Amino acid sequence: MTGTPGLVAVTLLATTALTTMAPAETLRWARAGDSLTLDPHAQNEGPTHTVAHQIYEPLLIRDMTGSFEPALATEWAPSPDDPNVWIFKLREGVTFHDGATFDASDVVFSINRAKTPDSDMKELLTSVVEVRAPDPMTVEIVTDGPNPILPSNLTNLFIMDEDWTVANDAVKVQDYEGNEDTFAARNANGTGPYILSSREPDVRTVLTQFPDYWGKDLFPMDVTEIEYTPIQNAATRVAALLSGEVDLIQDVPVQDLARVAGTDGLEVRTAPQNRVIFLGLNMGADDLDSDNVEGVNPFADARVRQAMNLAINREAIQQVVMRGQSQPAGMIAPPFVNGWSEALDQASTDIPAAKALMEEAGYGDGFTVQLDCPNDRYINDEAICQAAVGMMAQIGIDVALDAKPKAQHFPLISNKTTDFYMLGWGVPTYDSEYIFNFLVHTTDDERGSWNATGYSNADLDAKIESLASETDLSVRNATIAEIWEVIQAETLYLPIHHQVLNWGMSSKVGVLVDPEDQPKIKYITMN
């Protein structure tokens, strides 16, 4: 596999003046939640990566259609001499925002940093045993056996300046879950198209165009300044768009789609998202902290999990909560992903059968439990949780809803301190291994960082680990299917739906809706 320099913007720029000669264009951009941190390896979270993509760059990137495109690497391919080695040829003439020259030492440093325990990106690098630089413009990544999909794991793996990071005592990745504050969490120095100008978390982040960006003549680069504002309240967010206070919002509430689309000068652009929304259950604990059942964990009984899955009326959520803007899900893989199948992605609602399972499990009288839910991360996240509360009540489970901002919600999952929780999962590698490594594998030093279910299966772990070095794709896909069969039979998670993206914007903003929900502002045109 080799990268090709066919950048989508080249033809657009054939008759366009240089960025420095173009009029200043500010993009005022809003969404429900902010980036959690500026440390590019501390959190594997969509809005956090989205802001990082404006400042930092990976070796290769997915463009706004989801296709591979060269970034800091111009070519990549397995070594002709050793199938356990991937060779990346780096881009010449790239500088960091402070003027330092980019080279292979920065890549080696960044990948090794991303492999450390506090990094939330380490699951993507579990097969990597060594990173080396035979010369300043070449990087070799050595894997434990041939890894056919390694490039897919690198599209959100951002490269930092080694000297800057060392000089500012930021070599250690921020322990976000431990509430650690570091220099890299508040400051940034990347090679990307925009420089951090100012940041007030949860209020406003301002980015300005980097005049020495290597791609300034290859991408539209119409936006010279970005004002990014998190606006949690949906009505306030829509009002800001309607009034012209902002130019782009990524999360138009479904109840406001017609209003925004019907307003002169505004548009709604829609696309399926590479993300599933689901509920997780702590089935591994001996007892739950938030239930009223003493000395036993009701979620440890597969019949209870199956009953809860049958109690969820996904079509009702689709029609009432999401106003048709979702696709009911029966598995926690989006249709974009290798390993997804239509047969597995089916789910039904059957309250009598669910009640019978509860009775059979010894919980005919039900129990109480708390559901932890974000209220500023996913489309109608709190409303979905409220609907789930009512559905669980139909089978005797009295659920107390605790909804809070994602900055407080996600550490409950990462720290394994939640009994019942909502999570959404996108798959930037477009492969099931990504889901298995983060959500299914037993939690250890390398994998399972987002598996708050407590589920552990040594046989399944071995199959998951084998995927990183299996080069026979038919064998690999057969193993993926076997893993999914176990996940579905065990009811590890309660899938709800695949999200649909609805971006609202001024008609002057030219942008494709990215299936990763990650606008990369260098591609945007301003008419």
- How do residues 434-450 score in pLDDT, each as one tens digit? 999 999 999 999 999 99
Is 152 contained in some domain?
A: yes
Say yes or no: 134 and 222 in one domain.
Answer: yes
Q: Which residues contact 103 (CB under 8 A, 6 or more apart)?
A: 90, 133, 136, 137
Q: Which residues contact 273 (CB under 8 A, 6 or more apart)?
A: 334, 426, 498, 499, 500, 501, 515, 516, 517
Average pLDDT for the chain:
94
Is 246 contained in some domain?
A: no
Is 479 contained in some domain?
A: yes
Count of domains for the chain: 2
Say yes or no: 60 and 154 in one domain.
Answer: yes
Mean pLDDT of all residues in 199-226:
97
The CATH number of residue 376's host domain is 3.10.105.10
- Domain interval for residue 29: 11-239+508-526
Contact 282, 453 (CB under 8 A): yes
Greatest extent of the chain over all pairs of C-alpha atoms, in Å: 73
Is 257 contained in some domain?
A: no
The CATH number of residue 114's host domain is 3.40.190.10
Say yes or no: 123 and 172 in one domain.
Answer: yes
Say yes or no: 316 and 235 in one domain.
Answer: no
Per residue in 397-412, pLDDT (tens digit) is 999 999 999 999 999 9
Say yes or no: 190 and 284 in one domain.
Answer: no
Say yes or no: 361 and 430 in one domain.
Answer: yes
Q: Whose CA is closest to 314, among 276, 340, 343, 281? A: 276
Say yes or no: 432 and 397 in one domain.
Answer: yes
Is 244 contained in some domain?
A: no
Say yes or no: 313 and 182 in one domain.
Answer: no
pLDDT score for 10 = 26
Is 326 contained in some domain?
A: yes
Say yes or no: 228 and 284 in one domain.
Answer: no
Say yes or no: 108 and 191 in one domain.
Answer: yes
Q: Going by DSSP bridges, is the β-strand pair 367-374/397-404 parallel, antiparallel, or unpaired?
A: parallel
Is 305 contained in some domain?
A: yes
pTM: 0.90
Which position has the higher pLDDT, 20 or 225? 225
Say yes or no: 477 and 519 in one domain.
Answer: no
Is 259 contained in some domain?
A: no
pLDDT score for 24 = 80
Contact 65, 512 (CB under 8 A): yes
Token pair, residue 232, equals 């949690």
Say yes or no: 185 and 216 in one domain.
Answer: yes
Residue 472: band (very low, low, confident or very high) from pLDDT cuts 50, 70, 90: very high
